[in-house]
Structure 1
Amino acid sequence: MLQIAARFSELGAWLQESGPAGLFHASPKVHEILGAEPGELKVLRDCWTFLHADDRAQAEQAQALCESQARAYSLELRLARADATERWVRLQVSPLLDAAGQPRGSEGAFRDISAVKITEAVLQESEMRFRSLIEGVDKVSVQGYDSQRRVIFWNKASENLYGYSTAEAIGRQLEDLIIPPAMRELVIQGTRQWLESGVVSVPSEELVLRHKNGSDVPVFSSHAMQRSRSGEAFLYCVDVDLSERVQAEATRAKLESQLREAQKLEAMGTMAGGIAHDFNNVLGAILANISLASELLGEEHPAMRHMRLISRGGERARSMVRKMLAFSRRQPHSLELLELGGQVAEGLALLRASLPKGVGLQLDVLDGDLRVQADASELQQVLLNLCSNAWQALPAKGGHIHVGLRRAQLPADRPELEMPAGAYAELFVRDDGCGIDALTQARIFEPFFTTKPIDQGTGLGLAVVHGIVRSHHGAIAIDSVVGKGSCFYVYLPIAEGQALAALPPEPAAAQAKSPEAPRAKPAPQGQRLIYVDDDEVMRLTVEGLLLRAGYRVGLCSGAEEALALLVATGQDVAALISDYHMPDRDGLSLANAVLQQYPGLPVLLSSGYISEQLHEQALSLGVSCLIKKENLLEELLPSIHALLGETPG
């Protein structure tokens, strides 16, 4: 029966008597576990040879202490294997004592624990994967609590979400950490009910919990209860950070509230871009005809005073076109390095002449050497609009406007400016007028919002200012008290360490020579030119300019007519001038067709809006010159003289 029991046992038992001649007995199971042949194990030391080389010394040392000091021991040892598999045995040994209590040998047993080790490794790997998952998800906070709501688990995401480190959180109660005061009693009662029922009945929901600094933390919270083998209950909370979603929803709500006004703004921009071409044609015709009429009348004529007033009105209309194009986002910036103090001083000098009676304009502060990358004309527009807004807020009897420029250090706690902390140029315009209430301040930069009566304001002035400032990577803020006045602050990034230097001219005004030089020798006036424009008034106006300069002019209303005239006149044409925007074929298409047939012919294009793309396309085709439509009066004749090598008389 003992042999049967030994055969079916998982233990491989052995006995080793003391002394060199001591007997060694090992059951067949010992041979099976160690992988030894029957009868191969003569002494206990033979068993050590089947152990992993790194574990043998540990077994020999423990056995020596057992034999000399009667110490029992238990070891987990690896077996030596020829293949890559790993086998483990547990060795348990007790000393054998004689009647005097002295060691007379030892007895022990081997047990194969390879399966146990594999299970332990799997469990350990599973736990590591679980911990890695829980710690690696940065937006999922996991906390564990015992039956007294004391923290027993606090992952890295919980540290980031709630501000408490693991060391700070472990051992503290849930309600003292992240539960707002209004929710504490509800949480305490709820956990008691869960413990009594053994079921977490609260559904997953969105909650607003509390950060260490007292701020709100919106989360989607789920709960689960687990019990240990001893029956102790643990509550686990899984919280998903909703801060980004809440912020996105707030932003979306804000955008939706402004959608209607934004659509109006888009419509206004589309309209401004659409009418710019026609308006520029009319404006160019007006200014050109004023110039022609003025020469005929002479300076002493009584009508010259009125002609000058008309010309001044035309220039104001030209400025309006530029503003409309800037507002519609179709006119690019002409950025250059500017000394801001000089720009402010120049702007104030222009403003003083147009101030209403009783309004005082004072320069409070003007820090020197504040340089920014900006569009000079747009900065002047910002200053003009802010000062106009200021004097319109003054009472009828008048008041004071204070303008200043200084270096300012923005702190990091100005999130409303959406700008990083650091040094900026601060331009301020302060008035002692009626002030602005909080509701109006919240909407003051919205397009088409105005508090002025009908026909006295469009609500575009401050919206344009806001757009210009933001396009210069700056910010604008307002400080106002009803009845005490307002102050607008404009912050622009300082261009530190850059030296003032003249930048190259805008692409729109640059002249691009054709690959083949159009004319090498000076040509006498009286040459034939072709002018192409679908606007009759513009054609007749330009014809008058060119005839007065001594040229012969062929007028065409479209590209096809111009190509036909070129074929008819042949080499008699000295240059072709064309508008870019035409209904049948645009100016680039016409230029391409002309230059393919007459590669040496100078071609000039005019347009109300000259983009970088248009300039590059014209340059690649070989167009000789691009002229802004509103500058046609000033630039057309000088450009023709330059291209034809003429010296104006």
Structure 2
Amino acid sequence: MGHRRRGEAMLQDMLPGPSTMASVTAHLGLLEALSVAIYTTDAEGRITAYNEAAVTLWGWRPPLGTTRWCGSWRLFRPDGTPMAHDDCPIAAAMREGRPLRGNEAIAERPDGTRVAFISYPAPLRDPVGRVLGMVNVLVDISGRKTTEAALAASEARLRLATECAGIGTWEEDLRTGRGQWSAESMALLGIDRANFTADDCVEPVHPADRAMVAEAWQRAVEGGEHFDLTFRSARPAGDGSERWLLARGRAERDAAGVPVRAAGVLFDVTARHRVEAALRESEARFRASQELSPVAFAILRAVRAEQGAVADFEFEYANPACLGMLRAGGRQLQGRRLLSWLPDSREHPLLFPRFVRMLTEGRGGGEVELHYNAAGISGWFRTGAVAIDAERIAVSAEDITQRKETREALARSHAELERLVEERTTALLRESEERRYAEKAMRQSENLAALGQLAGGVAHDFNNILQIVENCTTLLDCELEGDVGAREYTEMIFGAAERGNAITRRLLAFAHRGDLRRERIDPVTLLGDVRHVLAHTLASPVVVHFEIRPNLPALLADRGQLETVLINLAVNARDAMPEGGTLTFVATVEEIQAGQAHLMGLDPGPYVRLTLRDTGVGMDETTLTRACEPFFTTKQRGHGTGLGLSMARGFAEQSGGALLIESAPGQGTIVTLWLPRADRAPEQASPRPGGMKVLGAARRVLFVDDEGAIRRTVGTSLQKAGFVAHLAEGGWEALALLDAGETVDVMVTDLVMPGMSGIGLIHQAQVRRPGLPAILLTGYVGEDVQQAMRSETGVRFALLRKPISVPELIDRISEVLAGDPAALPEPRPGG
């Protein structure tokens, strides 16, 4: 601004009389000292002279006498639109014959850079007033524009930050009493007036807090204190509860110390206030519970030595039960050292050292029972400890002396009773043995039941993966029909998926959750196939013998799983003979008579008995007891899963037989497998459907599955088969489609889904649409499915076991739509 004023003053000096043009030209040398750009033109607008500042602004030296109006390479208006040279400010001043001041424009230099400037053009006249030319002063305002843009951006960022954070801003002119409040502040206070005074601010405050707010405001204004106050709003929160606000600010004073302005921010702290209130309530409940608890409880803070090691603990809190246990009477323990109160705890491995490990290593927690006899304290205690932070631990202790003495007395009484029973009667020995076998069977059943839950979940997820692979392969097979090379690859994928199905069936077999495909098996042929496999599996130092009784009857089992069991048992025997040895297979027949108590609790009837006997290292009693536990293995990490024997036992029991392991250290191991004899041919599973059919009838199928890939592939396959497919991610979405009136001819649903099971969905759907055909997909038939099929509630559905092929599903849908009674059985009463 100073340069412009000096330039205008010099121009006034240069325009005194008739020799004005010559005077301007003569003074151009002096104008070189100015930082503002100055140039002159003749009456036609041709540039006649300019200084170096003009060259800097234009970015080039325009030729004199030919360049008209201005030396800018290109001109733009402030809004960025192009401006013709004939429309520039100096041309306009020439046309109007008067000076123009403060016109803003943008000049573009030859290198493409742009500079904003303000133009001050004025006409040059002769003594009689005729216009001889023009003189123009250009002031570069690029720096000011940059500063204005930065300020606007800063204000926008501040406004965005306060809006996003829900922070209101306010300021008050203490001289006029007028205030300015942001939209956020107005919303928080519930005020819709644009302007109001400080007195008006009391109105949105809760009546009970108005006096407190007014007093705090007065102190802030008159005493120079910062305003920092939490108060209730007169406007309740959205849920009808109290709304809490936090106002912070300060007053500014003039040079005389008179307060002239106050400004600050406003927050909604309702959520924080609720959390703090809940915390206080929680602390009060905790303290009340500890005050009344019979269990001793204390919080200990570490006391560290100069090197940082934990040297002691001091009591930070102790409840009344703790005071009583430590014989403290009415004395307080806060600040007392643990070792000064219980000096012998330093040497007790379950006290002081355990507390130290809790802080330094994060170990030593959980409850333990210990005996303590020092400092006037004697008895058995159950203690627990947990780290609160890096310096404090919480400790609980319960006196269990009387309970432990009672338990020991009961144990002695029980032992005495057992001795008397054993001495007085041998007749109960068989009952005792039977009870032992029953307890063993119960434990095994409970273990397998627990593992069955895991197997069911694994099978469900694995079946879903296999389902996606088979569905995608079926679609590829249809798309690549006629491509012999691609067909070979899809057949390989189908084969791999079928092997995956077999793995799932075997995993479920040992947990009693799978479906065995039992068939008549010739033991001689079976063992011949096993001999061929073992020839490539077992190491050469192991010699394999087969002892097979002639004319063995057929047995009844799943052939694939039986082969797997025998091979796994043979591999276990090989691992037990690292230096080599002999493995013998024996096949015989055993008949269990009615009324005969079998060692393994088998029902009367004919059985084929398969025995594997090795000359390995054998097992001790502890290992033998746990041999069939799931995941138990004596092999090195990575060389065994611990599932082989548990799966073998599960297969035998599910097949109607049993498995027995006999072993001793250094005497090898004998594994005996009983399987029922095949007196008649079992029911055979229906063959897997072939290729996908195209039915052509646009029947509407509602397919429900929580797996997106399964929904997509099955939906595509159904559409290719001529169906109209409606897809739903879960039970509630499917019911919403039905409630919306969507036409559905048949519903297909997975069993296991989040929120609502497939059985629950079928029940709800058939309540809405009686007679709606339904198909349930599941990897295994559990108790819930069997109960639903026996139910009298009228729930009807066909059953397909996963993973299923798309052609198989289409065939079953066709059967259900055709009204095949075998496809959709009537519900049966009973349990």
TM-score, length of structure 1 as denominator length = 0.49
Q: Which has the higher contact order (CA 8 A, sep 6+)?
A: 1
